[in-house]
Structure 1
Amino acid sequence: MARVLIVGASKGIGFETTLQALAAGHQVRAFARSAPRIKADQRLEIVKGNALKAADLDAAVEGVDVVIQTLGIGLSDMIGPVRLFSDSTRHLVAAMQKHGVRRLISVTGFGAGESRSSINLLQYGPFVLVFGRAYDDKSRQEKLIKESGLDWTIARPGVLTNGHKTREYRVLVDKKEWRNGLVSREDVADFLVREIDDRSLIGKAPVLIY
C-alpha cells in the first residue's frame, strides 16, 4: 500500500478521498488548515497546514509516495482575484521535486485548460461570469503541473453533486468526447484513489461525468 498525502483533506472531494484511501488500505497523511477535525484512524496522520505556505507543504511532502491535490474555494472567494490554485501548486511542485516524490494526482475541473473550448455556447457566458477567475487560476495550475516533469494525472470533474459512489462515471480522455455533466464527489474520490496504483493515465487530463 502507498503512503498518500492528500492536500485539502478536510472537506469535499478531499475528505471523501481520505475516507476511501483509508478503506483501500493506504496510509494517509491528511493536510488541511482544519485537518484536526478529521476523525482519527490508525493509518491516518493528521497534519495542520496552509497550502499557500511553502514550508508547510515541504514538511508534508517528505516521506510520501503519492500526492493527491484537492483544493477548492467557495463562491464568495471568486469575487476578487484568485491565486490559490496556482500559488499552492507552485509550492507543492517544488516540494515534490525536492523530496523526489514523482506521482501527483490533481483535481481541477471541466473548463480548466484546453477543456474550456469544449464548453457549449449557452453555458460559456455564465461560466465565465461566475467561475472565470477561479478557472483562469486552475488553468495556470494545470500549466504548472504539466511543466513540472512529475508523473501527473489531472482530473477534471463536471458539476459536483453530493450523491453516493456509483463507479458508473465516465473517464473521457479523448478531447472529442469532452462535455459538461454531473458527477458526485464520492465518485471523483473513487477515481483519485484508483489512480494511486494505476499509471495508465499519467500525462492525461480526463473529464469525469456520468
Structure 2
Amino acid sequence: MRLTVFGATGGTGRRLVDLALAAGHEVTAAVREPARLPERAPAAPAPHPVRCDVLDREQVAAAVAGADAVLSALGATDGGPVCGTGVPHIIAAMKAHGVRRLVALSAAPVPDRDPGDRPLYRLTVRPILRALFSAAYADLAVMEGEIFTSGLDWTVLRPPRLTDGPATGAYRTALRRNVPGGYAISRADLAAEMLRVLDDSAAVRATVGIGY
C-alpha cells in the first residue's frame, strides 16, 4: 500500500514510518525538514521524503497525490497547534486525489466527557489536563470536527499520556470510547495500532481509545 505519513519526524511518526516500511508499504514522509528524517543503512527500505508544511495547501496536495491512504501523526509543534488548520488541508487534498482512508492521531482528553472515563479521571485528571493544555486540546477538537464531517473513511485514535517505552503488544483498545484505566501508552504501541486499523473495517468512521 502507498502511504503518506504526516508528522513523520515526531515521536510517534518516526515509529510509524519504520513499522510501515517493515511491513512492505511504500511510504511518503511529509515533513517540514526532510533532513530530520533518521539516516538508514544503504540497503534498508527508506521513505520518500517530501518537504511539506501542513499549513500550505499546495504542498499538502503534492504529498497526498498517489497515496492509497493517509496517516496523520501531527501534534503541537514549537510554533503552536497545527492540526485544526493542517488536517482540513489534508482532507481537501484527499478528496481532490480520490483518497478515502484516513487515520489520525488525537488525544483521550479531547471530548468533554467520554463513556470510558472512570470517575476519578473524569472528576480530577481530565479537568487538570484540559486546563493545562487547553490550546492543544481545542486544536484537536477542531480537527476532529473536520474529520467527522469529511465523508472520508476515517479513524481517529485517542491515546492517553505517551511514553518512549518499547512496543509490548499488550495494550487495550475500545471503539468509540476511551479505555477505562488506560492512563498511558508507548509511542511504539500507538504507532502499531495506527498501522493495524488501516485494514480494520470495524474502525472505519469510529474513534479508538487505546491504553495499557
Which letter maps to 2:163? Answer: T
User: How far 1:120 sits from its partner (Å)?
Assistant: 1.7
What is aligned with 2:61? 58
**1:21-76 superposed Cα distances (whole Å, 9 cap, x missing partner):** 001110000011123332355452111110111111000000000100011225x6
Give me the TM-score of the superposition, normalised by structure 2: 0.89
User: How far 1:89 sits from its partner (Å)?
Assistant: 1.0
What is aligned with 1:4? 3
Q: Distance in 2 between matches of 1:147 and 1:207?
A: 20
Which letter maps to 1:68? Answer: L
1:131-170 correspondence runs (5 A)? 131-170=133-172
SS at 2:102 equivalent: strand
Q: Distance in 1 between matches of 2:36 and 2:177?
A: 39
Match of 1:105 among 103, 106, 109: 103
C-alpha change, 1:195 and 1:161, in structure 2 (3 Å) is same
Which letter maps to 1:195? Answer: V
User: How far 1:196 sits from its partner (Å)?
Assistant: 2.5
C-alpha change, 1:71 and 1:115, in structure 2 (3 Å) is farther
Q: What value does the CA root-mean-square deviation take over the aligned residues?
A: 2.0
Is structure 2 residue 90 aligned with structure 1 residue 92? yes
Say whether the 8 Å CA contact 2:7–2:13 is kept in structure 1.
Answer: yes
Say whether the 8 Å CA contact 1:9–1:35 is kept in structure 2.
Answer: no
User: How far 1:14 sits from its partner (Å)?
Assistant: 0.6
Say whether the 8 Å CA contact 2:173–2:179 is kept in structure 1.
Answer: no
Q: Distance in 2 between matches of 1:200 and 1:209?
A: 18
Say whether the 8 Å CA contact 1:36–1:47 is kept in structure 2.
Answer: no
SS at 2:30 equivalent: strand
C-alpha change, 1:93 and 1:124, in structure 2 (3 Å) is same
SS at 2:74 equivalent: coil
What is aligned with 1:67? 70
What stretches of structure 1 of length at least 5 have no aligned partner? none
What is aligned with 2:186? 184
Matched residues, number: 204
What is aligned with 1:209? 211
Which letter maps to 2:24? Answer: G
Say whether the 8 Å CA contact 2:178–2:208 is kept in structure 1.
Answer: no
Match of 2:49 among 39, 46, 49: 46
Q: Which 4+ runs in 1 deviate beyond 6 A?
A: none
SS at 1:175 equivalent: coil
SS at 2:53 equivalent: coil
User: How far 1:115 sits from its partner (Å)?
Assistant: 5.0
